[in-house]
Amino acid sequence: MVCRLFTRSGIAKKLPGLFSMSRRASSSSSPPTDWNSHSEFFDFTGGARWVCNEEYEMGMRHVPFDMNELAKLAAQSVGAAKCVDVENFGQGLYNKPFLFTMDDGTHVIGKVPNLSAGLPHFTTASEVATMDFARNFLGTPVPKVLAWSSRANENPVGAEFILMEFAPGIPLSIVWDTMGIEAKCKLIMSIGKIQNTWASTTFSQYGSLYYASDLDRPKPCLLTRRDGSQIEEPRFAVGPSNGRYLLDDGRLNVSFDRGPWDTVEQYKRAIGYREISCVQQMAELPLPVMGLYGPRTYTRSRPKKLAALNYYLQLINHLLPTDPSISSSFLWHNDLHVDNIFVNPQNPWEILSIIDWQSVDLRPLFDHTQKPFFLDYDGPSLKLRERPKLPENLSEMSLEAQKEAKDLHYRMELAAYYKMLTYRDTRVLHDATEFTETKSFDMMLLSQKLAEDGEAMYQWCVKELEAEWSNLPGVQAAGNPSFPFHFSSEEVSTIDRDAEDADQGMELMRSLKQSLGNLCPEKGLVRLENYDAAKALLRQKKEELMAQLGCSDDERRVWDHCWPFDN
């Protein structure tokens, strides 16, 4: 997947002709023929640096291969005589994307996965099969794969690669901000139609999709259509999951069950066992993402994480939804942002292509309910059939506050339209989305990354769950069993104190991010031109935090170790 700091939209300014419908090639003056002499093809050159563990992160994104051979294969894939130009096509955290220009003006997109992308062979093999299935079985506009290899030692390139047609149209990011409300509503309707097609087919297993020939012991891919009919697709099979949540933050190098799984209970239970394996096997726990934890706030510990995960494993049967339709396995693209959707520049509501299918996997529908990112907003939840309203005291607000209120109202209007369409046309997706508003879903969501964060709040939520235990649909469906835990007064005190300390750590993190502004790292990255200023400001903020907390010399040394923004 492409980091949104370094997206393909920037290429439109660099190569404007390529984003026209005619796809004319730019002129080139005698390009070099030895593409292997360009070191920028093999390293991370995204105009950014990591504020922490930079040497490791850069190493995970250094991939040596033979670019001359890849350029030759790109030309062969479209029947061209030769490739006359190769350029970095944006810069991804997980892949190296390239733009190949042929002597006849044809363009081909190539990508080579970084070490951070996922498991060798499986990541590329699954992406290609998934694109094929989405394009040819579900009718989704997806770029056609022209050539590929998931076996680095079995091709002349010396690395895994995918060559595909250049996505027609322009990235939605180029036109979204200038589109009118009517055009945006039409685009939302187009997305709804595509998602309705995705919702038409369920799978018998959870994991990732492959060609059967790429798995050692494939099971037949059994599909169920909306009308209840079943189809066996012998070309495809479900295998180990390549979802990012099984790969990021050190999970790539940990041994645990990656699927496939036959039931939603197996799938969800495997999450708990996965996080337990991470807590037990990792030499260093992943850096926290929600809070600043250390002396005078909350202290993370492996025993507390394992305790929270054991609670999860005992609760999971009662947290799952009672409606089997929203627990079924679906293929879904969960990363619909403005750089992954390509549209017709003349009619921008017409979707011509959806890109970036790496790590797309088969999950229960209630885990697929992330609405398109450009419809996200930070505000109150929406109710069906209730249009968002402007504040009654709008006229009494300052001009800046009025603008913010109107902007929020506008975004909520678009999100409400999407919600209404989903309810009308894809009811099962609407029902799955409604489930995400429940306590049961919150408890499952919080468990996803307990190896790095959230164990204090999870234990507190488990304690509080007793008061509403009998109201959980999963508990009622099971015949109202008694609450499975008993907490002593001492345990309650410890849980409450940890939750309060963790909350303080989260508030400190929120305050830090707000004070950093545009110098705040995203996924650990800051722009190259901001690196020195960001590192200096982060050091300053650490000193201010330790002074604010009144830390001793020993506590300062602990903070130097657990501060998540240092090498």
| pLDDT tens, residue by residue, 326-371 | 999 999 999 999 999 999 999 999 999 999 999 999 999 999 998 8
* Whether residue 428 sits in one domain with residue 468: no
* Whether residue 29 sits in one domain with residue 126: yes
Distance CA 96, CA 119 (A): 16
* Whether residue 161 sits in one domain with residue 46: yes
* Whether residue 147 sits in one domain with residue 205: no
* Whether residue 507 sits in one domain with residue 552: no
| Mean pLDDT of all residues in 195-203 | 97
Distance CA 239, CA 257 (A): 11
| Residue at which a domain ends, from 406, 435, 464 | 435
* Whether residue 474 sits in one domain with residue 383: no
* Whether residue 234 sits in one domain with residue 152: no
* Residue 547 lies in domain: 529-567
Helix/strand number for the chain, H first, E second: 15, 17
* Whether residue 321 sits in one domain with residue 211: yes
Q: Is the peptide bond before 260 cis (omega within 30 degrees of 0)?
A: yes
Residues 6+ apart with CB under 8 A from 16: none
Neighbours of 213 (CB within 10 A): 11
pLDDT of 29 higher than 70: no
In a domain, 207, yes or no: yes
Q: Give whole-number Cα distances, 399 to 24, 393, 403, 405, 406, in Å.
A: 46, 12, 6, 10, 11
What percent of the chain clears pLDDT 90, i.e. is strictly above it?
87
Cα Rg of the chain, angstroms: 25
One-letter amino acid at 359 equals: S
Q: How many domains does the chain have?
A: 4
In a domain, 4, yes or no: no
| Mean pLDDT of all residues in 229-246 | 96
> What pLDDT, on the 0 to 100 scale, is given for residue 378?
86
* Whether residue 306 sits in one domain with residue 212: yes
* Whether residue 493 sits in one domain with residue 453: yes
If you ran DSSP here, which 8-state letter would residue 89 be given? -
pLDDT of 527 higher than 90: yes
> What pLDDT, on the 0 to 100 scale, is given for residue 36?
95
In a domain, 16, yes or no: yes
224-231, Cβ contacts within 8 angstroms, sequence gap of 24 or more: 224/328, 225/200, 225/201, 226/199, 226/200, 226/201
In a domain, 549, yes or no: yes
Distance CA 97, CA 312 (A): 39
What's the pTM?
0.91
* Whether residue 414 sits in one domain with residue 533: no
* Whether residue 147 sits in one domain with residue 33: yes
Residue with tokens 């369409």: 421
- Chain centroid offset of residue 72 CA: 33
Query: Considering the chain, what is the average pLDDT of its residues?
Result: 92
